[in-house]
Amino acid sequence: MGDDGKQELRGLRDAIDGLDRRILDLLNERAGLVLRVGKVKTRAGRTFYVPGREEEVLRRLEEGNPGPFPTGAIRAVWKEILSASLSLEHPLAVAYLGPEATFTHQACRKQFGLSAELRPVRTIAEVFDVVEKGKAHHGVIPIENTTEGVVSYALDMFLHSELKITGEVYLRISHSLLNRSGVQEDVARIYSHPQGLAQCRRWLEEHFPDTPQFDTSSTAQAAKVAAEDPQAAAVAGELAGALYGLKTVEARIEDNPNNYTRFLVIGREIPDRTGRDKTSLLFAVKDEVGALHRMLQPFDRHGVNLTKIESRPMKRRAWEYAFFIDCEGHMSDDAVAEALRELEPSCQFLKVLGSYPKAGTAG
């Protein structure tokens, strides 16, 4: 590079350094306003974390981005800004199905950013318990996977809990085969959570047909085992590999490239309407001919789109079922409210589990 090129490069770098200082100044100015907002909320007794407001900010920025900064990166950058800002107002405690470095942990980081106080617990029931007792503001649990289907136990928890669904997170699940050396020939045993092994079944059968597989309580636990045993390998995410100092034997070994898990955020209050929402319901009907068909008619009459329906046994008597439904819209929307009003008299019971901002599937 000639002298002119070096001088031009130096000038451009100096300009970038100046912009970075301006960005930092603006972030601190924004933080000062956030602290003032926190004081107003405290005086008014209002909640600090408002998912609808956060989604409104993110959507407005994405829609108004003129480029060339990639629109796809805006959400990740501002999530961290919002997370750090919220920690100035009030530290946000979030319980999740642990341990650290699981995919649920990654979903927490995606939803709440790195400044939230993320607390791993051992079971889905414990996530509910911690939030119900006020020891955490929110909880995050897996609810369904595009390959392996619904997490039945998580659905069953809503039959008895009064907690609400306050948000959802979609996370692309990518598994790697990890061990201490990164060498395929060193793999004598493979460990993972049963769903991790199931999601990579065809790849494992093709490349390790005779290698014994062992279940662990989580993909992170599998990574811990592999870190302690030179002949063991783990099917886990890269975050778990980084935490335990493992190397990659093979990346992206999941059978389905569109392998996503949906996680639910649970809390005590239903968020306000954002205009792009989803409502989740739980209801039971009498066991008689045409009962479910009649339950679905109010949604059809009022033009409410159903995006999911799942049945679960009530466990009190044989052949009694509860139905979980996701529909588009907020419970305060006229169409959804009317459909619920018509539905309720025909139900043995009806619970609105939550209305919350609808998540995208990217990332």
Give the domains, in start order, of the chain with CATH numbers. 25-88 (1.20.59.10), 91-160 (3.40.190.10), 176-250 (3.40.190.10), 270-357 (3.30.70.260)
Closest CA to 359 of 110, 118, 47: 110
Residue 102: the pLDDT is: 92
Task: List all residues 6 or more positions away from 29 whose beta carbon is below 8 Å from its beta carbon.
Answer: none
Is 263 designated active site?
A: yes
At 157 the pLDDT is 93
Strand partners, 269: none
Q: CA 226 → CA 10, 83, 233, distances in Å?
A: 47, 33, 5
Q: Which amino acid is at 259?
A: N
- Which entry of 104, 147, 261, 279 is annotated as an active-site residue? 261
307 assigned to active site = no
**What integer pLDDT is reported at residue 316 of this predicted model?**
62
The one-digit pLDDT tens for each residue of the chain (363 residues) are 677 778 888 888 989 999 999 999 999 999 888 888 878 877 777 776 777 778 888 888 988 999 899 988 888 898 888 888 878 877 789 999 989 999 999 999 999 988 889 999 999 999 999 999 999 999 999 999 888 888 888 998 998 899 999 999 999 999 999 999 999 999 999 999 999 999 999 999 999 999 999 999 899 999 999 999 999 999 999 999 999 999 999 999 999 988 999 999 999 989 889 889 999 999 987 767 777 788 899 999 999 999 999 988 776 665 577 899 999 999 999 999 999 999 998 888 899 999 999 986 555
Q: What is residue 22's DSSP assignment?
A: H
Please, are residues 265 and 136 in contact by the beta-carbon 8 Å criterion? no
The pLDDT value given to residue 319: 52
Q: In the prediction, which pLDDT does 58 show?
A: 85
Catalytic residue among 263, 283, 299, 324: 263
Q: Are 251 and 233 in contact (CB under 8 A)?
A: no
Task: Find the DSSP H helices in 244-360.
Answer: 291-301, 334-343
Given 3-state DSSP classes, what are the helix, strand and coil percentages for the chain, each rounded to the nearest 5?
45, 25, 30
Q: Which residue from 328, 321, 312 is spatially nearest to 154, judged by alpha carbons?
A: 312
